[in-house]
């Protein structure tokens, strides 16, 4: 490992480069980070120009109090960068979190790969009867299988049409108009801890779409391992 004078988190170091897989072709990987639990405590101590009490326990208490009191700016001192492969319909929700920075695959520049999302048979859901945005229960197995087959066949046909358009000379930027929102895209996504915790509060909530919850859950487990005091403070005052 390279020598570094930067504060590092042992937990985060272990997470770097691990690729978590989910759904059909989804992936989440922590590719870089800046700052540790103690970066937040140190930043907060700047307020009162005192550096004593730097024990781990003092940091833990301070971080808990900061989050509880919504003294959130010290949490912006920590930054995480993920590589995320996600279907476009999840990306459309993900990209609404404007405080993150991102760079995405360009299907103008390169051909879209044949990677499409389809739900597993046990995860095809009915429309909720009580909430217009949400799913309800799982569909019966035979209907779920039928739905899955329809989705997969549609994905296949859309890709064949895309390929046909490319073959007859249509540009990549125009041929892609036939691709469904189940097509996968990939981003590098960088966000500070304050706004990542805000993302969790919205996207781990039960009214968030289950597919984006699955992505949020993986990122939350990475935060839990790399920044345990922050996770503890966040969990204590949700």
Q: How far is the CB of 208 from ligand FAD (least distance, A)?
A: 5
Q: Report in angstroms how near the CB of residue 79 gets to ligand FAD at its nearest.
A: 14
Burial of 134 (0-12, 13-18, 19+ CB in 10 A): middle
Residue 107 CB, nearest approach to ligand FAD (Å): 23
Taking the least distance from each CB to ligand FAD, the nearer of 97 and 225 is 97
Do residues 212 and 95 touch, judged by C-beta distance below 8 A?
no
Contact of 192 with 171, CB cutoff 8 Å:
no
What single-letter DSSP state applies at residue 53?
Answer: -
DSSP single-letter state for residue 140? P
Q: How far apart are CA 216 and CA 203, in angstroms?
A: 6
Q: Which of 198, 225, 190, 238 is nearest to 18 (CA)?
A: 225
Report the catalytic residues.
203
| Backbone torsion region of residue 23, taken as left when φ is above 0, otherwise alpha when ψ lies between -120 and 50, otherwise beta | left
Give the footprint of ligand FAD on this chain (CB under 6 A): 96-99, 133, 195, 198, 202, 207-208
How far apart are alpha carbons 166 and 163 in whole angstroms?
A: 5
Question: For ligand FAD, which is the closer residue by CB, 41 or 219?
Answer: 219
Whichever of 159 and 189 has its CB closer to ligand FAD, that residue is: 189
Q: How far is the CB of 97 from ligand FAD (least distance, A)?
A: 4
Nearer to ligand FAD, 93 or 221 (CB): 93
């Amino acid at each position: 490992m390279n020598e570094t004078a930067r504060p590092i988190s042992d937990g985060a170091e272990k997470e770097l480069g691990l690729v978590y897989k989910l759904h059909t072709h989804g992936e989440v990987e922590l590719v870089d980070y800046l700052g540790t639990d103690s970066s937040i405590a140190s930043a907060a101590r700047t307020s009162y120009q005192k550096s004593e009490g730097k024990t781990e326990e003092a940091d833990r208490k301070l971080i808990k109090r900061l989050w509880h009191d919504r003294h959130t700016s010290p949490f912006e001192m920590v930054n995480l960068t993920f590589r995320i492969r996600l279907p476009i319909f999840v990306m459309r929700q993900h990209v609404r979190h404007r405080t993150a920075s991102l760079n995405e695959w360009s299907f103008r520049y390169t051909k879209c790969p044949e990677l499409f999302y389809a739900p597993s048979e046990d995860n095809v859901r009915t429309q909720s009867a009580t909430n217009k945005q949400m799913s309800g229960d799982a569909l019966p197995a035979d209907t779920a299988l039928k739905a899955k087959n329809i989705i997969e066949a549609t994905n296949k046909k859309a890709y064949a049409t895309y390929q046909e358009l490319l073959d007859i000379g249509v540009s990549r930027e125009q041929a892609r108009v036939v691709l469904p929102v189940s097509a996968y895209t990939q981003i590098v996504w960088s966000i500070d801890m304050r706004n990542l915790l805000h993302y969790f509060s919205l996207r781990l909530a039960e009214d968030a779409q289950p597919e984006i919850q699955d992505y949020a859950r993986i990122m939350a487990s990475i935060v839990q391992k790399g920044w345990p005091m922050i996770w503890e403070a966040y969990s204590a005052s949700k």
